[in-house]
Amino acid sequence: MTINVLFVCLGNICRSPMAEAIFQQLVDEAGLTDKFQVDSAGTGSWHVGEKAHPGTRRILAEQGIAYNGRSRQITAQDMADPQTYIVTMDQSNSNNLHRQFGQHPNQHRLLAFSNQTTETDVPDPYYTSTFEYVYQLVKDGCEGLLETIRKQEGL
């Protein structure tokens, strides 16, 4: 059975593509590639079809992480499977999903899985340009998320 993980932010050009790329790398390094389907999407449609933000692409390239995805907007189909891990970057993303699609039983904020930070929201680097800080937060969250899923799914 495939485990679906969908990272969600506002524009799907800064934070959620970064999370998708980092998490995919962690999954690959753990030898679990064939167990997971990892993706990302935005609640907004402004950047649909665009590559990730240059700041996200730069930091991923510096870390040797490949990413070629394009922005897309989340759909009802993405939210339809109650087992999909829906992982948001901040409270506003969570609220947007809730408003648009109702309660999802497996929806979480990424930083709930980090024990390295007291931050609850990944700040939006589209406005702050703090791509390195965001990378650290997202990486911590992704490591915690994979650990949690491995325990839950017995991997």
Residues annotated as catalytic are 9, 15, 124
**Closer Cβ to ligand 4NP, 42 or 141, answer by number:** 42
User: Could you write out the DSSP letters of every residue in 1-43?
Assistant: -PEEEEEEESSSSSHHHHHHHHHHHHHHHTT-GGGEEEEEEES
Query: Which residue is closest to ligand 4NP by CB?
Result: 11
| Chain positions contacting ligand 4NP, by CB under 6 A | 9-15, 42, 46-47, 124, 126
* Closest distance of CB 149 from ligand 4NP, Å: 22
What does the DSSP 8-state code read for residue 31? T
* Closest distance of CB 27 from ligand 4NP, Å: 21
Q: From the CB of residue 105, how many other CB atoms can be counted at a distance below 10 Å?
A: 8
**Closer Cβ to ligand 4NP, 3 or 111, answer by number:** 111
